[in-house]
Amino acid sequence: MLTECRHDIAEMELAELEQALETLGRPRFHGRQLFQWIHKRGVTDFGEMTDLGRELRSTLAAEFRIITPEVIRRERSIDGTMKFLLRLEDGQLIESVFIPDTPSNTFCLSTQVGCAMRCGFCLTGKMGIIRNLTAGEIAGQVRVLTRELDMLHSRFNVVLMGMGEPLHNYDATMKALRILADGHGLSVNPRRVTLSTVGVLPALERLATEPLMPNLAISLHATTEDQRDLLVPINRKYGLKELLDACRSFPVKRRERITFEYVMLKDVNDTDEDARRLVRLLNGIRAKVNLLPLNEAAGIPHERPSDARVNRFAQILAERGIVVSVRKSRGRDIRAACGQLITESTRQKSPGQLLASLMSV
């Protein structure tokens, strides 16, 4: 009987996989073949890897596993956005989102089950942190979405803006990005990847030294220390000034900018003075601002500002030379929009009970 001590090779980078095959007394190039089967062709059954000998396939099945998140439910929004509820091997649940035509097709990935940041306008933070995802589980979401959407050979972008704080799970997140970027796999260019963070400063400073550098998006959401302390609690540890100083020294590629995400909350952070303060805060940073009018939801004690207020805020930024856009919410009707991802029923039911209830829907 196969045991759970078998290693998950979907968790391995190419060099690790080559080393694993060499340890079995096999040529390293078999590792490259395996990597291509899993990450380029989306094949997870050793028996279907037809350019590998039958004996090798049998050995691989005995020594290794290929763990892939399981699709439990998929929902489609009226705007074409799709949300996938995925079950992990231990029964934990996460959500991933496909956003078409943005202007490219985009996969929004989760990096944790839940989130420890507890931002005041985000449902995921209501879950608290359950556990980090592995690199294989993060990259595995892409394998699942490309299979489900028949996009294995299509171009797409990746945003790490789903459940969790990517820099709170730094090593697994970066390993997943290296797996996705590998030329023997899906070859997802780092320029097509955006990592969003509330500002975990030690990890942000470490990210600045990485040879593989995704685009950076900072979840800012406030223009004063007191305001951000309330909305983004990690600000009490890593303050607004320190965060912006780190952004000023962050290596931004030529013709690129750091994106600052700003969720707009009615009568909280949406005033003209907030807009003018934001301009001053971003002085000296090659920045662009994405304004995100709040996606209202039960349990979130804030309201969405009017379109007129959002437009006025954007106008103030633009008149002062800030590149600004107002993000159109996608998937709000299926609770797939920014800040709406939550699997709250996991806190009330066992994985088996939850799976049974979902399958009966």
Q: Is 18 among the domain residues?
A: yes
Q: Are residues 57 and 77 in the same domain?
A: no
pLDDT digits over 96-121, tens only?
A: 999 998 778 999 999 999 999 999 88
Based on the fold, state whether residues 170 and 94 are members of the same structural domain: yes
Neighbours of 11 (CB within 10 A): 22
The fraction of the chain above a pLDDT of 90, given in percent, is: 80
Same domain, 37 and 79: no
Same domain, 154 and 48: no
Cα distance between residue 222 and residue 168, in whole Å:
21
Whether the pLDDT of residue 131 is over 80: the answer is yes
Q: What is the pLDDT of residue 356?
A: 32
Phi, psi of 285, rounded to the nearest 5 degrees: -115, 135
Angle at 70 between CA 126 and CA 46, to 5 degrees: 145
| pLDDT of 202 above 60 | yes
Q: What CATH number is associated with residue 243?
A: 3.20.20.70
Please report whether residue 131 resides in a domain. yes
Q: Report the b/e string of 53-74 with b at 16+ CB within 10 A.
A: eeebbebbeebbbbbbbeebeb
Q: What share of the chain is helix, strand, coil (3-state, %, to 5)?
A: 40, 20, 45
User: Is pLDDT above 80 for 361?
Assistant: no
Cα–Cα distance for residue pair 243/358, rounded to 1 Å: 41
Contact status, residue 164 vs residue 125, Cβ threshold 8 Å: no
Instruction: Tell me which of 26, 41, 65 is where a domain ends.
Output: 65
pLDDT score of 360 more than 60: no
Report the amino acid identity of residue 65.
R
Give the active site residues: 95, 338
Same domain, 191 and 237: yes
pLDDT digits (tens, 9 = 90+) for 52-74: 999 999 999 999 999 999 999 99
pLDDT value, residue 335? 55
pLDDT exceeds 80 at position 146? yes
pLDDT given at position 120: 87
Query: What's the pLDDT band for 4 if we cut at 50, 70, 90?
Result: low
Asked whether the bond before 103 is cis by omega within 30 degrees of 0, the reply is: yes
Spatial separation of the C-alpha atoms in residues 361 and 351, rounded to whole Å: 16
Q: For the chain, what is the domain count?
A: 2
Tell which of 50, 65, 80 closes a domain: 65
> How far is it, in rounded angstroms, from Cα 167 to Cα 59?
37
- Domain range for 51 is 7-65
DSSP string of 107-169, one letter each residue = EE---EEE-SS--TT-SGGGG-EEEEPPHHHHHHHHHHHHHHTT-TTS--EEEE-SSS-GGGG
pLDDT score of 215 more than 60: yes
Q: Are residue 112 and residue 59 in the same domain, yes or no?
A: no
In a shared domain, residues 76 and 56? no
Q: Are residues 191 and 302 in the same domain?
A: yes
237 lies in a domain? yes
Considering the domain architecture, whether residues 110 and 134 belong to the same structural domain is answered as yes
Provide the CA 18 distance to its chain's centre, in angstroms.
28
